[in-house]
């Protein structure tokens, strides 16, 4: 059974990628298993300046999922390059996916430019679900024009594949994906979290200090499959599918919807061995389904 896939010209041993924000900078998980079994992973969302994140509580449990409003807590790109990447290099010997966030086009550009110089970075995953501080707080990913503007600007200062991570909190995901492709994106990553909210009945207040947060987990899987299917049918660049993936069968289903690779998010927080177990189970499920090569899976 051959689990290898090609993502933007880089070969992966398998399509399983822990999603940004659920796997830290990798070395934390390297203490419990050899993370080189992974295809790659997307490291913690990195911004130009350090961010403390949102006030607590930041997490609310839900049926078949969770809501989080961590707020992109990270040490800032310079510290990531100086401290986090050297630690990662000791335990991960493959190209890593750098996840980048920003609150203005200039911030995206500078953060991507700095990370593009790093040898270990294989891809730049640009999260356009952040609020645009100069555009009234609407996220860059909610309009084709804004998403294309970020894509175009980042592509001008980078040499590595740029994958744009899209928000599902939109009316027409396809037009945004196509705008990113037209602006030069090398791939599309989706879906980011849905917007959710829970209320503490005793306190009569929202559970999350931020009121709302990103809803993830198995409950969102059908929405993710639908959006991956729509986008992969409309663009010619690779699509990375994610959203509620919890098993090897889910990975194969995402690939049948058109995904080239698949990210696993919330499951890493429930079971730190989730990705390792999914990778081990892939050949078993492939055999059951008569699939010799994962790369042969065609969009249905």
- For residues 130 and 103, the answer to whether their CB atoms sit within 8 Å is yes
Six token digits for residue 297: 């899976």
Alpha-carbon distance of 183 to 197, in angstroms, equals: 34
- The catalytic residue positions are 130
3-state helix, strand, coil in the chain (%, to 5): 35, 20, 40
Let me know if 257 is exposed, middle or buried by CB neighbors in 10 A (0-12, 13-18, 19+): buried
Six-digit token string for 109:
């550009």
Residue ranges of alpha helices (H) inside 76-218 are: 77-79, 85-91, 105-116, 144-156, 173-182
Q: Coil, strand, or helix at residue 187? A: strand
In the block, tokens 């889910």 appear at 250
Sign of CA dihedral 170, 171, 175, 177: positive
∠ CA 194-218-200, rounded to 5°: 60
């Amino acid at each position: 059974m051959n689990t290898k896939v090609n993502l933007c010209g880089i070969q992966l041993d398998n399509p399983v990628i822990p999603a940004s924000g659920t796997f830290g900078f990798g070395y934390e998980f390297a203490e419990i298993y050899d993370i080189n079994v992974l295809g790659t992973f997307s490291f913690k969302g990195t911004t130009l300046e350090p961010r403390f994140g949102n006030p607590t509580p930041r997490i609310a449990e839900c049926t078949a999922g969770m809501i989080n409003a961590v707020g992109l807590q990270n040490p800032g790109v310079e510290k990531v390059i100086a401290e986090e990447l050297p630690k990662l290099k000791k335990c991960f010997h493959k190209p890593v996916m750098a996840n980048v966030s920003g609150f203005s086009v200039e911030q995206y550009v500078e953060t991507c430019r700095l990370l593009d110089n790093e040898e270990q970075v294989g891809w730049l995953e640009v999260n356009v679900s952040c609020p645009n501080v100069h555009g009234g707080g609407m996220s860059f990913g909610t309009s084709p024009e804004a998403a294309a503007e970020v894509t175009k600007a980042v592509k001008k200062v980078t040499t590595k594949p740029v994958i744009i991570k899209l928000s599902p909190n939109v009316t027409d995901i396809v037009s945004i994906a196509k705008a990113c492709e037209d602006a030069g994106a090398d791939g599309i990553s989706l879906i980011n979290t849905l917007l959710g909210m829970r209320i503490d009945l005793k306190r009569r207040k929202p559970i999350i200090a931020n009121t709302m947060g990103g809803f993830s987990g198995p409950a969102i899987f059908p929405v993710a499959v639908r959006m991956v299917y729509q986008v992969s049918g409309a663009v010619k660049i690779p699509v990375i599918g994610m959203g509620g993936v919890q098993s090897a069968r889910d990975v194969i289903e995402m690939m049948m919807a058109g995904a080239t690779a698949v990210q696993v998010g919330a499951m890493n927080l429930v079971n730190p061995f989730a990705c390792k177990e999914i990778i081990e189970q892939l050949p078993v499920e492939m055999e059951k389904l008569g699939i010799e090569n994962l790369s042969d899976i065609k969009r249905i």
